[in-house]
């Protein structure tokens, strides 16, 4: 069953204004099928963790982070339990540099309030009034939202896909690249070169990023840090906290404050 907002979107041929969005938040609903929109989409999790997956990567947005989704990009949406999502839909022509790929950005307190205030405007707001000026400020803040880098690149090579698919199912797996090379009947050197070539990361760094990103929904659900560390393949809590701090610049507790 579609929500009222989803039904309105599916009925639209053109946006009524360059920016479209309302105060209604979409509840947790997994859109596991690949789909796209004729407009740029800006979606953020008010609560819970939002994930957008494309052919090229997974993009993870914990609370107060958002995902830019370019027009026409095929994607799937996943979310954790109790996730609440708020979205804006934007005509790409009003963006100086429309996003070409998905990316995760920070929703600052100012941006959050601008989105809330904009959502209370009429759908067909007066573009030549204070309402239009609010929309212009919102658009400016959206464009300059800081990039958070919360993405996991996915390879195109079929052999690497077998590895990353298995690791995404079992992030605590400890199989080495050498063991994978033996199974796939290819040299370890070839797999190592392909990982860097197709993801920009070594196998070790890719697996570490996978584990850290997989930890975010568990931490947001208030699971114990020790349990999260073990579930994500770390031998100790201290090793997990050190890796988390190196990647995100904060402790797990600090990351979710506010």
What is the distance between the alpha carbons of residues 181 and 94, in angstroms, rounded to a whole number? 48
83-136 tens-digit pLDDT: 888 889 999 999 888 888 999 999 999 999 999 899 889 989 999 999 999 999
Predicted pLDDT at 80 = 73
Going from N- to C-terminal start, the domains of the chain cover 4-143, 155-255
Predicted pLDDT at 6 = 57
Predicted pLDDT at 35 = 85
Do 126 and 26 contact (CB within 8 A), yes or no?
no
126-163 tens-digit pLDDT: 999 999 999 999 999 999 999 998 999 999 999 999 99
Do 173 and 231 contact (CB within 8 A), yes or no?
no
Predicted pLDDT at 175 = 94
**Would the pLDDT of 12 be above 90?**
no
Report the share of the chain in percent with pLDDT over 70: 91
59-83 tens-digit pLDDT: 999 888 999 999 999 999 888 777 8
**Which CATH architecture does the domain made up of 4-143 adopt?**
Sandwich (2.60)
Residue 109 contacts by C-beta under 8 Å, 6 or more apart in sequence? none
- Looking at 2.40.50.140, 1.10.645.10, 1.10.760.10, 1.10.10.60, the CATH number of the domain 155-255 comes to 1.10.10.60
**Would the pLDDT of 24 be above 80?**
no
Predicted pLDDT at 246 = 93
What is the distance between the alpha carbons of residues 61 and 80, in angstroms, rounded to a whole number? 11
116 closest CA partner among 166, 169, 214, 44:
44
Token pair belonging to 94: 């009003």
Q: In the chain, what is the straight-line distance between the N-terminal and C-terminal CA atoms, in Å?
A: 33
Bridge-based pairing state of the strands 40-47 and 84-90: antiparallel
181-206 tens-digit pLDDT: 999 999 999 999 999 999 999 999 99
Token pair belonging to 35: 């789909």
Do 133 and 121 contact (CB within 8 A), yes or no?
no
């Amino acid at each position: 069953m579609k929500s009222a907002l989803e039904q309105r979107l599916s009925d639209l041929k053109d946006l009524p204004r360059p920016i479209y969005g309302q105060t209604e938040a979409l509840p947790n609903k997994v859109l596991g099928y690949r789909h796209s929109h004729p407009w740029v989409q800006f979606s953020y999790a008010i609560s819970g963790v939002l994930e957008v997956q494309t052919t090229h990567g997974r993009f993870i947005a914990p609370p107060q982070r958002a995902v830019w989704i370019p027009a026409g990009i095929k994607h799937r949406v996943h979310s954790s339990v109790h996730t609440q999502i708020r979205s804006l839909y934007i005509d790409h022509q009003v963006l100086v540099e429309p996003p070409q790929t998905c990316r995760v950005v920070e929703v600052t307190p100012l941006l959050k309030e601008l989105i809330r205030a904009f959502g209370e405007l009429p759908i067909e707001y007066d573009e030549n009034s204070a309402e239009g000026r609010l929309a212009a400020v919102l658009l400016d803040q959206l464009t300059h939202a800081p990039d958070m880098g919360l993405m996991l690149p996915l390879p195109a090579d079929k052999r690497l896909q077998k590895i990353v698919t298995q690791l995404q199912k079992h992030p605590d797996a400890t199989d080495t690249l050498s063991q994978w090379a033996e199974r796939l009947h290819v040299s370890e050197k070839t797999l190592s070169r392909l990982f860097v070539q197709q993801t920009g990361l070594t196998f070790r760094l890719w697996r570490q990023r996978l584990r850290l990103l997989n930890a975010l929904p568990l931490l947001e659900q208030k699971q114990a840090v020790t349990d999260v560390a073990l579930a994500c393949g770390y031998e100790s809590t201290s090793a997990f906290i050190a890796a988390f701090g190196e990647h995100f610049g904060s402790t797990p507790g600090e990351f979710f404050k506010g």
